[in-house]
Structure 1
């Protein structure tokens, strides 16, 4: 993909609904061919942002550019974007091929040409030969792929996906999100993906934009956000971290030595200075050893989930959530344990 085709820019975008300000001010740039996920809890502004990009909502202030063109006041049908809805929005009385061709035919393309393009679109998403079926004859995952094919045949600059997997069961979600990601990488189109599911965002994204109260709380690659959360909100929202008070004792060569729970632990300094701080600790970064230790705890609850055990552990620093993927047998409720830390999964936060 060359030039600015597929590039998206929000410049000082503000959105108000009466006296309520949903988006105070948004500045965001998306590169051509990039898959960016807008992630956050309900009411954070991610869907409003997507709807403004789609032309379904008009900004109160600021500009939106697609491919270098100002589209802020353009209607949805003139924006060169396609949207995949969580409800699929397929016509039940039309065949799969008719559903995929519908947008092309509505835009004036001859029926034969549109049907040919529809078959190519179905082939792209792995549904070759299924054009004659009705949507009701397909699985949920196949229906979602039809919705993606219908959007792609329009050859939009940007593909918008609004909670596209929310109606699928867990196993199917994993498969379809992989298919969407592989398709996006193979074809190189720009995509803006909205979800509240942090695992989904980590799996599909080039970049994740975490939103809170209509603002960008942090953005970066999945690994950057997981390994280096900028705040307690990010640490808890992406990866469900425990946040513990600690003391930065010294900083040297980019590494800080922190004292926490009776233990001393080296962690990336992240511009920290000696003094009180907070340490985000991933659930799988905590080790448990039966018996006493410098950082002592007691098993409050244990849940065996097949490939791992989840614990709630009472400590002097509060109740901690611990995930152990190596346990053969769960530790007994009430057992005394010594807590330790693994090298990865610890981050000082502001």
Structure 2
């Protein structure tokens, strides 16, 4: 796939209505050539509608969509120069693996031997070389998903669209296949738009994440930006399941704030806030659980659960019930045990 096939994507003031219901009020979004951008959010947030409008499966009520600098707003799906990978794989069960991969090429007029050679090259790209003669049912779920990716890639689209591509796989396979998709995207450099409701999946594969809520962009940024500097309580809770607690900014200086959380004092970026009441997002792995000594946030264990490589706690404190993941101990503390929570160097952020 050459540089010329890496298409930029533009949504300009795009609105989508379904009768009296407005799914997308007004969407402006730019995706650079060669970038993998994930649309993330809860069910009904508008991410799938956005992807379907880009694919040509839905028409916007108003606004403009561009791919590679071309206005495609009213073009049918087969003239958009995009390929889509569906969560259901959508493989033909009676066709061989190579036949499935070659299908789109043959439908576009490429002759049999040439289409077969291109299909074998596509299978090599996704690590399935030599399996072209098998039927889809003879492959694992992860292998079938890679066949679906190969079928999309051999068409050399300007943009690859992935709609919940891992939702039918078990947890271990999802981790492996998401790594393979990301490695492939980085190696070939194609533009990709990826839809998921799984925040861990989004963090793992994306150059940037677009978090959507009620049809609008709640925040857009790199995985690190969204995790370390959530723009709202919704983002803090949705990306990483943070504890959002009341705090007090004692003082600010040079863009930094001294923040009091119960008995804890911590320094963190002020994010434009001034001294006074504030809200802080505390990541579940940003706190240490220790014997009650004072000098921190005192509380008591409400629940504990041993999960192999870490212990999960709910701690009752002056800030309310705090969820903590402790990966430094393999011996859970019993409910009722008095404890003191202290902060690790990162994992707490003021919410502007």
TM-score range, shorter chain: over 0.9
Which residue matches 1:302?
A: 304
Which residue matches 1:259?
A: 260
- Where do 4+ consecutive residues of structure 1 move more than 4 Å? 1-5
Which residue matches 2:239?
A: 238
Which residue matches 1:226?
A: 227
Structure 2 residue 77 is matched with structure 1 residue 72:
no
Which residue matches 1:313?
A: 315
String of CA shifts for 1:7-49, please: whole Å, max 9, x gaps: 0000000000010000000000000000000000000000000
Determine the C-alpha separation between the residues in 2 that align with 1:287 and 1:57: 49
Structure 2 residue 287 is matched with structure 1 residue 268:
no
Which residue matches 1:158?
A: 159
Structure 2 residue 37 is matched with structure 1 residue 39:
no
SS at match of 1:89: coil
String of CA shifts for 1:218-264, please: whole Å, max 9, x gaps: 01000010011111000000011001111111111221001111221
Determine the C-alpha separation between the residues in 1 that align with 2:77 and 2:4: 23
Q: What is the correspondence of 1:46-65 to structure 2 with a 5 Å cutoff?
A: 46-65=47-66
**Conserved? CA contact 2:5–2:157, under 8 Å:** no
String of CA shifts for 1:251-290, please: whole Å, max 9, x gaps: 1122100111122111111111111110100000011112
Q: What is the correspondence of 1:1-350 to structure 2 with a 5 Å cutoff?
A: 2=3, 5-293=6-294, 294-350=296-352
Determine the C-alpha separation between the residues in 2 that align with 1:5 and 1:280: 37
Determine the C-alpha separation between the residues in 2 that align with 1:228 and 1:295: 23
SS at match of 1:288: strand
Shift in Å, 1:5: 4.5
**Conserved? CA contact 1:100–1:146, under 8 Å:** yes
5+ residue gaps, structure 2: none
SS at match of 1:267: strand
String of CA shifts for 1:177-213, please: whole Å, max 9, x gaps: 0000000000000000000000000000000000000
Number of corresponding residues:
350
Given the two structures, how large is their TM-score scaled by the length of structure 2? 0.98
String of CA shifts for 1:295-329, please: whole Å, max 9, x gaps: 21111110100011111111122111000011120
Determine the C-alpha separation between the residues in 1 that align with 2:184 and 2:273: 41
SS at match of 1:48: helix
**Conserved? CA contact 1:7–1:29, under 8 Å:** yes
Shift in Å, 1:148: 0.1
5+ residue gaps, structure 1: none
Shift in Å, 1:4: 8.6
**Conserved? CA contact 2:6–2:190, under 8 Å:** no
Given the two structures, how large is their TM-score scaled by the length of structure 1? 0.98
Shift in Å, 1:122: 0.2
Determine the C-alpha separation between the residues in 1 that align with 2:329 and 2:48: 40
SS at match of 2:285: helix
What is the RMSD computed on CA atoms of the aligned residues? 1.0
